Amino acid sequence: MHSEYVERQYPPLPEIRTVGIVGAGQMGSGIAQVAAMHGFSVRLVDISEDQLRQALAKIDYYLSRSVARGRLAEADKQAALARIATGQAIEFLKDCEIVIEAATEDERIKNEIFSALCPVLRPDAILATNTSSISVTRLAAKTDRPERFIGMHFMNPVPVMKLVEIIRAITTSQETYEAVCALARKLGKVTVTAEDFPAFIVNRILLPMINEAVYTLYEGVGTVESIDTAMRLGANHPMGPLELADFIGLDTCLAVMQVLYEGLADSKYRPCPLLVKYVEAGWLGRKTKRGFYDYRGEKPVPTR
């Protein structure tokens, strides 16, 4: 016996004026900064008051740097900061026309957020996820608005990187897709549309390269420094793959590789055992001051 799919009747899409963001980490604070800079009201929510404080301090720091470099007027900086309001309760997002979930790359946590969020959201609001690898269709199916659910994958660091990957769930309506593409352009971003397959476009290509660099280290083909120097100077990459892994976070790299490995069942996506070991040790890269490099001194030093 199969259950028949019934399309819900939605109210018309609203004009997006207030952007809600769940998660005040690196990605969430970056999205908040960009949205505020482009004239949107921002509601930034995180369960940690300390995380919210850090996010505001980070945004203030980056905007102040732009003022010091003559790229931004002080008045514009103050106006942008004034557009950002923070809170710890999910109810704080009830008036947003779109909410972007930017929590940790863990499907269980994301689903918990959506089940708390859906009852308080406006019935006409769009729900977006900044997931870098998880099935958008599967996440959408757990919400009360699968037609108004979409993947909006920003690149890190958000204020610098121009790209947003737009990922349609099977259920995403055309009008939701068009509204989110238009929003991304208003945020000064360029969009590419990716099909809803594991890790989408950027991470499908980038993370196996990073994983292969870890294998190259694991097998003793090169040292941390030689691998990074080789790719910077031999392939013209701005950052070596192991340095980049530290920047992304080794836990995130591992999570994406696991999604690829499980989702595509191909041994070429098997996470390198050395990457697993670093994550088990809690050496997650820059955010924990140790990864493939040790960041506790004046300059980064390779850890192997």
What residues are labeled active site? 132, 153, 165, 203
Place of tokens 């995130």: 252
Count of C-beta atoms within a 10 Å radius of residue 75 = 9
Number of H helices, E strands in the chain: 11, 10
Question: Measuring CA to CA, which residue among 87, 85, 81 is closest to residue 59?
Answer: 81
End-to-end Cα separation, the chain, in angstroms: 57
CA separation, residue 35 to residues 78, 84, 183, 230 (Å): 14, 9, 10, 37
Q: What are phi and psi of 57, to 5 degrees?
A: -65, -40
CA distance 151 to 164: 10
139 alpha-carbon distance from chain centroid: 15
Question: Exposed, middle or buried: residue 261 (CB in 10 Å: 0-12, 13-18, 19+)?
Answer: middle
